[in-house]
Amino acid sequence: MIIGSIKDGIVIDHIPAGRAMELYKYLNLEHADCEVAIIKNAQSKKLGRKDVLKINEILDINYELLGYIAPDITVNIIRDGQKAQKLHPGLPETITDMIKCKNPRCITTTEQELPQIFKLTDKENGVYRCLYCDTIASR
C-alpha cells in the first residue's frame, strides 16, 4: 500500500521500529472494519528504521494516547488522496484510562471505578505520575 492508494484515511508515520503493534492494540484497530496496513522496519532517514500504520478510513483517533506511546510520531490525515493535515501529537499533559497505576497502596487499586489519570511531571524525560499517589507510570 502506498499513500496515494488511500483516498480518505490516516497514516501514522515515524513510529519507533517494533512499536506499531503496540499502537495497533491501544487504538483498538483489531476491531476496525477498514483496511489497516502495518509496515514494520521501513527505511527512515530520521530514525534508521521505523514502523508505519496506514488506516484506510478517518477514524476518531486518540491523539493523547499516540503522543504518550511515541511522542515523535507524525500523523498524516489524507482526504481525497491528498495530505490534508500533518500532526505531531507530542507528549500530552495528562493521560486518562490508558494505563493503570501499579502501586498496590494506591486508592485506584481498591476503587476501580476511578479514572486512571497520569500527569506529565518531567517533560524532558517523558515521566508521568499517577494523579492520586504520584507513582511513576510504567509502560
Partner 1 sequence: MKDLIDISELTTSEIDQLIETSCDIMQNPAKYSEKCRGKKLATLFFEPSTRTRLSFEAAMYELGGAVLGFSAADSSSAAKGESVSDTVKTVSCYADIIAMRHPKEGAPRAAAMAASVPIINAGDGGHNHPTQTLADLCTIKKEKGRLDALTIGCCGDLKFGRTVHSLVEAMSRYENIRFIMISPEELRLPEFVKSNIAHHASHEIEETEDLQQVLPELDVLYMTRVQKERFFNEADYIRLKDSYILTPAKLTNAKADLAIMHPLPRVNEISVAVDNDPRACYFKQVLNGKFMRMALIMKLLEVE
- Kindly list the residues in this chain that would bind partner 1 in the complex (CB under 8 A): 103, 105-111, 113-114, 130-136
Report in angstroms how near the CB of residue 72 gets to partner 1 at its nearest: 24
- Asked if 24 contacts 18 with a C-beta cutoff of 8 angstroms, the reply is no
Report in angstroms how near the CB of residue 26 gets to partner 1 at its nearest: 24
Pairwise CA distance, residues 84 & 9, whole Å: 10
Q: Give the nearer residue to partner 1 in terms of CB position, either 78 or 106.
A: 106
Report in angstroms how near the CB of residue 114 gets to partner 1 at its nearest: 6
Pairwise CA distance, residues 35 & 48, whole Å: 27
Q: Which residues contact 108 (CB under 8 A, 6 or more apart)?
A: 100, 101, 114, 116, 130, 132, 133
Q: Give the nearer residue to partner 1 in terms of CB position, either 34 or 107.
A: 107
